[in-house]
A and B are shown apart, each in its own frame.
Chain A
Amino acid sequence: MTAAAERTAVEQGAEDILAVARAQVLERGEGLTEQQVLAVLRLSDDRLTELLQLAHEVRMRWCGPEVEVEGIVSVKTGGCPEDCHFCSQSGRFPTPVRAAWLDIPGLVEAAKQTAATGATEFCIVAAVRGPDKRLLSQVKAGIEAIRAAGLDINIACSLGMLTQQQVDELVAMGVHRYNHNLETARSHFPQVVTTHSWEERWDTLRMVREAGMEVCCGGIIGMGESIEQRAEFAVQLAELGPHEVPMNFLIPQPGTPYEDYPVVAGSEALKTVAAFRLAMPRTMLRFAGGRELTLGDLGAEQGMLGGINAIIVGNYLTNLGRPAEQDLRMLDDLRMPIKALNETL
């Protein structure tokens, strides 16, 4: 059967999706189509183990056993003018988060804490629509101070939407990767954010890629999207072709429009992880925020054995994570080596 015929067979429900994925993704390295991803997401829970095993095989075949470890810190917290409905840092919602700036010594200390875990990535994040001159000069001074402190770690940034000039400035600062999440499927985005568009985010990602920075782009599962929209999101990310996809699970934040949304069920979260892996066999898939709440300790291990090959350790921006040592011990137990600096997954 040809690849096109296989896809048609699955779309018509005539062939088992995991058998097709084994041939198409594992053997040939071709990501699943939207309809195929949807078929994976619709699998019953009694096939979860089989699905995770396949996703793990795909990850090992096309990415290898190494895991990229990253730490993140918020350099500018709260007071954001945007209305991302999931975010406790929006100034438009009555959340308990107050605005704060991290000074340069604090930024260097955060980088030291990250480097001490063996992480190769340190991401500087700001809650903004896009960076102004003050923020960019704070980031520049922070990067210089981190380098002056002798810390050997890659520096990434997440500073919202960029102009071409700002992209060029970040490249000149030595920022090697830029995070800007599309957050959700294009069709669902207007229900999540109304102050800017999915296309504006896409434009920033395009400029980042063209400037030679690595693109980091993912989103949050559990924001009221349908499973059809999860499949749509997976293939939209695959089309973008980011170097890294961070996978977050909604943490309902008090004061936000999503404060009463349910936490994603563990099996659903794991199924989504595996489906994203089958849509993007060669992409770095990172466990990010919300895994502690959604998956707990056991689920985190299952995710690492179900397609994930990167992880944020320690705390997040406004929430706390598991102690880094616990995740590093987990990786050791799973015999998954931490990626060394200057290696490419």
Chain B
Amino acid sequence: MNEGFCGWCGKPGAEGDHATCRQRLSSIDPPRYCTSCARRMVVQITPSGWTARCSRHGTFRPGVSGPAAGAPPDPAKAGPAGDPTLSLA
């Protein structure tokens, strides 16, 4: 996993259970924390999209996987390393 932190709760992705985080990120929440540094991001939601800006790592938008951006990978469904759901604007 190259995502250090959970985009929903801001805690290290490798620590604890992030099932709720994944569920919220895949349904109703944009990421609020930068997955690289855990800084709180400035999030702007519009009727058909969102942006999340980290002061250190730039602006993120929904990626090809949609609103699941920022969720640590589900260990039960672990695949290739990396979460492609965030893309730098």
Contact = CB atoms under 8 A, between A and B. Distances in A.
Contacts of A48: none
A104 to B, nearest CB: 14
B40 A110 contact: no
Contact of A73 (B32, B41, B46): B46
Interface string B37-65: 00011111111111000000000000000
A319 B50 CA distance: 10
Sorted nearest first, the 9 A-B pairs with minimum C-beta distance are A314-B47, A96-B32, A71-B47, A113-B48, A113-B47, A110-B46, A319-B28, A98-B42, A315-B45
Contact of A293 (B27, B41, B43, B45): B27
B16 to A, nearest CB: 14
A232 to B, nearest CB: 29
B33 interface: yes
Nearest to A95: B32
B73 interface: no
A43 to B, nearest CB: 29
Interface residues on B, range: 20 to 34
Contacts of B72: none
Contacts of B28: 251, 292-293, 319-321
A97 interface: yes
A81 B88 CA distance: 33
A96 B47 contact: no
Given A96-B40, A251-B28, A292-B27, A318 B45 contact: yes
A76 to B, nearest CB: 11
Contacts of A316: 45
A106 B41 CA distance: 18
A331 interface: no
A181 interface: no
B13 interface: no
Contact of A106 (B44, B48, B67): B44
Interface residues of A, number: 32
Contacts of A314: 46-48
Interface in A286-341: 292-293, 313-321, 323-324
30 contacts: A71-B47, A72-B47, A73-B46, A74-B45, A77-B44, A96-B10, A96-B33, A97-B43, A98-B40, A98-B41, A100-B42, A100-B43, A100-B44, A109-B46, A110-B47, A113-B46, A113-B49, A251-B28, A313-B47, A314-B48, A315-B45, A315-B46, A315-B48, A315-B49, A317-B45, A319-B28, A320-B28, A320-B50, A323-B48, A324-B48
Contacts of B67: 320
Contacts of A97: 32, 43
B61 to A, nearest CB: 13
Contacts of A321: 28
A108 to B, nearest CB: 11
Contacts of B50: 315, 320
A179 interface: no
Contacts of B43: 77, 97-98, 100, 318
Contacts of A71: 47
A294 to B, nearest CB: 11
A117 B41 CA distance: 29
Nearest to A314: B47
A102 interface: yes
A324 B44 contact: no
B27 A320 contact: yes
A292 B32 CA distance: 19
A21 to B, nearest CB: 33
Most buried by B among A99, A102, A315, A324: A315
A221 to B, nearest CB: 16
A158 interface: no
Contacts of B48: 113, 314-315, 323-324
B56 to A, nearest CB: 14
B9 A254 contact: yes
